[in-house]
Amino acid sequence: MQVTHKGGWAPQESPDGKVVYYLMPDSQDVWKVAIDGGEETRVLGPVAGFAVTAEGIYFIQIGTHMWVGTVGNSLKFFSFVKGTTEKIADVKLNPLGALSVSPDGRYVLFSQIDPFVSDLMLVDNFR
């Protein structure tokens, strides 16, 4: 059954199963829509990964884009009850997009890329 009408990807169901949160491809904003249909609403963004919990949404806010990545990324939490966003930690490297929160809410796991690390290899006798 089609739920969105404006597109979307990376869906996550709310813990109560009533809402789907998803990313809009062009903006990387988090949007939501009720499982049984209804109006699609922008929640926050742009983000580089998000995770929905019963209390709110953990997300990585993108900083300033540079030639080989970004600076000023941060892990933040949007509270459903308060309607406010708080910064949890700085994210020094480029987040890869996936984000996960432990069931007790004590840990956040995400992948990141270091664009400044590379290896030079010399291959002898490769023919």
At 126, is the pLDDT very low, low, confident or very high (cuts 50, 70, 90)? low
Number of H helices, E strands in the chain: 0, 12
Rg (CA), the chain: 18
The token pair at 69 is: 């990545």
| Residue type at position 123 | V
Q: How many CB atoms lie within 10 A of CB 30?
A: 24
The token pair at 36 is: 């049984």
| Residue type at position 65 | H
The tens digit of pLDDT for each residue in 63-104 reads 776 555 567 789 999 999 999 999 999 887 777 777 889 988
58-67, 90-99, 110-119: segment of lowest average pLDDT: 110-119
Segments making up each domain of the chain, as ranges: 9-113
Q: Which CATH architecture has domain 9-113?
A: 6 Propeller (2.120)
